Structure 1
Amino acid sequence: MRVHVDYVGPLLGKMFLVLIDAHSKWMEVEPVESATTKTTVEKLRKIFSTHGIPEKLVSGNGSVFISQEFTDFVKSNRIDHIKTAPYHPSSNGLGERAVQVLKKGLSLAKQGTLSYRLTQVFSYRITPHFSTGISPVELLMGCKLRSRLDLLHPNLEQTVHKKQWQQKQFYKGNRNSMIDLYNGVRVYVHNYNRGCPWVAGVVQSKTGPLSYNIKLDDGRVVKRHLDQIRKTLQSERHEGGEAEDLLAEPIHPKDKPCSRAMVPVSPGRPEE
């Protein structure tokens, strides 16, 4: 891990310590009142506590970076301090480039406080870098940061989850999935043969999360989904609940179950 540091200023009455990571191109900017060794060490210690201690640090030959206090700081943290050639700023080209990015960002934000104007660095961090093709934040953190531009491109995953949730809420069988039938309970099941639309039976076994084997009063065993089953008033009263259909919408008057227990089966259409 190699980082480049440099000072720029005075700008807007401040000096700015600029640090950039050589791998991800991530940039950190710290405004200071004056470029002193003590202030520089404090700001670097703050940055390193967030992103970790680098292996190499490249800087110019300013008095701040060649002082004994700064030398002790890099040695105590086992950092290889590389100083560029005197009077040759391009030797620290990455640091100089970071300085230009900062100057341009501050020039674009002509109003607001200093803290607000420094938020222009955020745009740099989320923009794909010309040398890597990937934004600095993606290389450093492995993820994308959300910005106001994302409002123009809604998150597809969130949209799908929202639609699925809405479908679940409005699905007429949604309430049924929360109710479990036990063996032996009296129910009505939908009859798909000629005769009465609903026939009585008893729950025999559970065959799936929402499906049951129902033994009809005429002895036949049919398989039905929970949406095709209605509890009887008798079973509701037996459970101590109110005499109402808790499994789905009430049966329409024209679909009321037959009074007789057995329903003739159409000879031309076997029961499912």
Structure 2
Amino acid sequence: MFLLVVDAHSKWPEVIPMRSTTAANTIRVLRCLFSRYGLPHEVVSDNGPQFVAEDFAVFLKKNGIKHIKSAVKHPASNGEVERFVQTFKKAMKKAKPDGGDVHLKLARFLLSYRTTPHVVIQETPSKMFMGRDLRTRLSQVRPDLGLKLQQKRALKKDRVRSFEVGERVRVLDFRIHSERWSEGMVTRVLGPVTYQVVVDGIRWKRHVDQIRRMSQCVDSRAEPLRQTVPNTDIYNDRDTITRALTDEDIPNTHTHLIHLRKYLRPKTKVTQNNSNTQSKTSVVQNVTSVNQIVF
């Protein structure tokens, strides 16, 4: 005799050989199952004498389990287990010519059933019940790509550097006439590899490859690992570049403007009879156009 138990959600089966099906033995087996998997909300059973006994009802009531009994002479009321009974009988009948121990046949059947996708849920009972597929001999032949991907991600995650909020760091500086690396402070963590750093009162968004620790020796001429993240505070950087475009900072300003006239085509045309004031106005207009090209 066997006691068959099926989880309604995951279709996970349990088959327990029993010498007798008294209420005491049934309670003993269920107590063992509840110690492994926890107490269920409901138990659905047929109207067997062990399930309608008073001891069984008291056992379920003390554990806060609702007991639902199927209709008399209507097996379809407990169709989940009844269908599994038919599957179990066919499997054991098919394995009968093989000989051997009943426990061995039972173990093979349970492993096969638990690792086979169910027709209703389209997943294996082990995946639904335990959150993973059980390892079988077929798993040794089929490569586990998911496991390799997890290991690769874990190794990559360990190599990623991290910084704390309030930590003093050196960040890559894109401003003109500035040091390659400037000192700043991490003020916010924007993502796994992205940080917000404040430098001279300006908030920048930097990738972890563009940040160095203060204790780390930084060569001002060294290139970063990657330069894929621009500054978030565009307006501050634009003001800086606008201030840099002056006659003192950029040599041969007029030479640059002569080359740009072919493309800009300013409305105010410079002639030989123009006064110095008109020439200065053209220079200012062209400098403004240079700033627009830069951005």
1:142 aligns with 2:131: yes
The answer for the alignment partner of 1:30 in structure 2 is 16
The answer for the alignment partner of 2:49 in structure 1 is 63
CA contact (8 A) 1:105 1:121 kept: no
Q: Secondary structure at the match of 2:50?
A: helix
1:107 aligns with 2:96: no
Q: Secondary structure at the match of 1:128?
A: coil
Let me know the Cα RMSD of the aligned residues: 2.6
The structure whose residues are more often helix, as a share, is: 2
Q: Secondary structure at the match of 1:118?
A: helix
Give the Cα separation in 1 of the matches to 2:35 and 2:55: 19
Q: Deviations for 1:99-154, whole angstroms, at most 9, x for unmatched residues?
A: 11221221232222111011111111111100000111111111111111112312
Q: Deviations for 1:132-184, whole angstroms, at most 9, x for unmatched residues?
A: 0011111111111111111231223667899xxxxxxxxxxxxxxxxxxxxxx
User: Normalization by structure 1: what TM-score?
Assistant: 0.52
Q: 2:106 aligns with which of 118, 134, 159?
A: 118
CA contact (8 A) 1:37 1:64 kept: yes
Q: 1:88 aligns with which of 65, 68, 74?
A: 74
Which ranges in structure 1 are unaligned for 5 or more consecutive residues?
Answer: 1-14, 163-206, 214-272
Distance 1:35 1:153, change over 3 A: same
Q: Secondary structure at the match of 2:51?
A: helix
Shift of 1:88: 1.0
The answer for the alignment partner of 1:128 in structure 2 is 117
CA contact (8 A) 1:17 1:32 kept: yes
Give the Cα separation in 2 of the matches to 1:158 and 1:87: 49
**AA aligned opposite 2:66:** D
Matches within 5 A, 1:1-272: 15-110=1-96, 111-119=99-107, 120-156=109-145
**AA aligned opposite 1:145:** L
Distance 1:156 1:75, change over 3 A: same
Q: Deviations for 1:178-236, whole angstroms, at most 9, x for unmatched residues?
A: xxxxxxxxxxxxxxxxxxxxxxxxxxxxx9xxxx99xxxxxxxxxxxxxxxxxxxxxxx
Which ranges in structure 2 are unaligned for 5 or more consecutive residues?
Answer: 152-211, 219-295
- Determine what percentage of the aligned residue pairs are the same residue: 43
Give the Cα separation in 2 of the matches to 1:122 and 1:108: 16
CA contact (8 A) 1:102 1:121 kept: no
Distance 1:98 1:153, change over 3 A: same
User: Normalization by structure 2: what TM-score?
Assistant: 0.48
CA contact (8 A) 1:126 1:144 kept: yes
Give the Cα separation in 1 of the matches to 2:131 and 2:148: 23
